[in-house]
Amino acid sequence: MSSHGRVLFRWICLQVIFASVLSEDWEANVVPEIKALTTSCVVLPCTFKYPGAQLPDSRLRAIWHTKEKQDQIIYHEDRTRVIDNFKDRTTLLGRLSEKNCTLEIDKVRNHDNGPFCFRAEIPQKDQYSFLKSCVTVKPTDEPENLQLDKKEFLEEGEPVSFRCSVKHTCPSHPPTITWSYPNSNPTVNHRDISNGNWEAESLLTLIPKEKDAHTFLTCTIKFHGGQTRTITTRLYVKRKENYLHIIIPVAAALGTALLFGVMCFFMSKKYKSQIQELQSGNGFLGRMSRMSQRFRSVD
Ligand SMILES: *[C@@H]1O[C@H](CO)[C@@H](O)[C@H](O)[C@H]1NC(C)=O
């Protein structure tokens, strides 16, 4: 290869590398279908790619519209362009410079079905509606997967944990979970369980007392927007096995018996020595009998 040829070859290689880095095509990644609790919010996860170099927020514009009609805009930074039905209900949560087009729809209504599609605009240059990656929203009045675990029996004084959880699609304002148990200090977790679904959970640790037996433990879940649900379980507390009511009388009886035995022992010892004294003649009776002998001898 001549030196000319080598330079040309390198130049072609560089072109290929640049092209593969820069010529990313328009592409959006969304969750195609997502459930939404009415009156609460729903967050539509979205990321996108565009050709050319990465641009700052100021050079990009995000629009969400219905698939049916591109001029039915549900999100636009200029709120006057948004159709009445969605005015002040949509917020772009993602940062465009990070290629994130995540959208929040608040105060979900029964007819917010979509499908909704993202459009990226590079003003004065280019724009693209991602009509192949639209999102269908399924509004529902009933939250999913409300759970509170049941426990057969609790042991008095033994710490036990209860878990209350719910699935939701409003991670920007997750539900709050509270417990009926007094002075509880639960641990709260929010977990991404993929495809736009999240799980909120609260873990309560309590130490059952005798007075908790047969009471109800209630977990209250309050969703953003005001919907509230409760789940209740009953506490069955097993009394701690307690032998004091047996131990005390038995100990008292044994103590009395022992005391009585010791007394008998000393008493019998004392009587024995007195009897021995009598027999050996040192006692009062012995002296008497000796005296009577003396009187008799005087006679
Ligand atoms: C996009 O933005 C949302 C909202 O800020 C965020 O929760 C999510 O993690 C971002 N996605 C990616 C892939 O960075």
From ligand 1's centre to the CA of 45, what distance in Å?
7
126 or 290: which leads in pLDDT: 126
Residue minimizing CA distance to atom 11 of ligand 1: 100
- The per-residue pLDDT for range 74-111, each reduced to its tens digit, is 999 999 999 999 999 999 999 999 999 999 999 999 99
Pocket test for ligand 1, best of 90, 100, 103, 170 (most atoms within 8 A of CB): 100
Nearest atom in ligand 1 to the alpha carbon of residue 98 is 14
Question: For residue 94, how far is its CA from the centre of ligand 1 (angstroms)?
Answer: 6
Per-residue model confidence as pLDDT tens digits over 27-62: 999 999 999 999 999 999 999 998 888 889 888 999
For residue 118, count other CB atoms closer than 10 A to its CB. 28
User: 183 C-alpha to center of ligand 1: Å?
Assistant: 36
- Give the binding-site residues of ligand 1, using a 6 Å CB cut-off: 47, 93-94, 100, 102
Tens-digit pLDDT profile for residues 188-201 = 999 999 999 999 99
- pLDDT level of residue 245 (50, 70, 90 thresholds): low
**Does the structure show a pLDDT above 60 at 249?**
yes
The pLDDT of 253-258, averaged and rounded, is 82
- pLDDT over 80 (residue 179): yes
pLDDT band of residue 6 (cuts 50, 70, 90) is low
C-alpha dihedral sign at 46, 52, 56, 57: negative
Q: Angle at Cα 247 formed by Cα 244 and Cα 251, nearest 5°?
A: 140
